[in-house]
Amino acid sequence: MKILFIGDIVGEPGRRAVKELVPRLRRDLNVDIVVANGENAAGGSGITPATAQEIFNAGVNIMTSGDHLWDQKEVVNLLQNESRFVRPLNYPQGTPGQGSVVYQANNQPPVGIINLQGCTFMPNLDNPFTTIRAEVEKMRQKTNIIFLDFHAEATSEKAAIARMLDGQVSAVIGTHTHVQTADEQIFPGGTAFLSDAGFTGPHESIIGRDIEPIIKRFLTLQPQRFAVAEKNIKLQGALVDINAHTGKAEKIVRISEPLAESAKKL
């Protein structure tokens, strides 16, 4: 089984990359399931039902989120009504929405997808280490193919979660920093790991935003408007090949696919 994971989708350029590239990648890479982090899909901050629908229509099966979950008030409709949308598991009990889902593609075994948020340099949610242990134990009663999007700042926290879960989940892919790391590997127990999948959107930027306002903010410490950039659009993420019988990862490859029209502008 091949799962394509797409790193944080940023604004309209990121959505455009998904719409234009995902159908081809699904075909060329023989992808079974596409999971994408969409927390920055609406104007670069948050997500709405309309932007989520664009992404689903492009061929994404399940969408995860992160610390920008609440940036658009319309997200409540997604949390309450969209079974394909997953928010961080470690929000307090009673928070709308779901932290995990079991998805089954045509003629494929079920796959568990979990979204989790870190606590180091991040908003204070429930302890991700204790929360994820209980969820994985429960999910393994339904499937041994489990994919975790760990939305966290600290590389050490991401590595620690992945090492703790080695052999219990198929893959742990980090999101949030918008910088794709080069540490893809498969741990001894069969868990694929990548510290950060990168982001899908404009890469002639500072993590997806226009360059000059961010530099000015650092120079002056004065508020600036951080608009989404436009140039050098790429889709980033990872392709994980998982043994459908054992649930263990057999291969992980980083993905960094340029949008053709973006490449022509440079």
Q: Which residues pair with 62 in a beta bridge?
A: 35
Share of the chain above pLDDT 70, in %: 98
Note the pTM of the prediction, 2 decimals. Answer: 0.95
Residue (of 30, 20, 27, 37) closest to 237 by Cα position: 37
Model confidence over 77-119: pLDDT tens digits? Answer: 999 999 999 999 999 999 999 999 999 988 889 999 999 999 9
Q: What is the pLDDT of residue 263?
A: 46
Provide mean pLDDT across the span 236-241.
98
Rounded to the nearest integer, the mean pLDDT of the chain is 96
Helix locations, the chain, DSSP H: 11-28, 49-57, 75-81, 128-139, 155-164, 211-220, 260-265
Q: What is the pLDDT of residue 170?
A: 98
* Ramachandran sector of residue 94 (left: φ over 0; alpha: ψ -120 to 50; beta: rest): left
Q: What is the pLDDT of residue 266?
A: 39
Residue (of 266, 199, 258, 228) closest to 20 by Cα position: 258
User: Which domains are delineated in the chain?
Assistant: 2-265 (3.60.21.10)
> Would strands 249-258 and 62-64 be described as parallel, antiparallel, or unpaired?
unpaired
Distances (CA, A) of 35 to 28, 90, 130, 226, 244: 17, 19, 24, 27, 17
**Assigned token pair, 81:** 């009504």
> Annotated catalytic, 68?
yes
Q: What is the pLDDT of residue 233?
A: 98
- Which one from 68, 176, 178, 203 is the annotated catalytic residue? 68
Contact in structure between 228 and 206 (CB atoms under 8 Å): no
Model confidence over 164-220: pLDDT tens digits? Answer: 999 999 999 999 999 999 999 999 999 999 999 999 999 999 999 999 999 999 999
Residue 265 has pLDDT above 60, yes or no: no
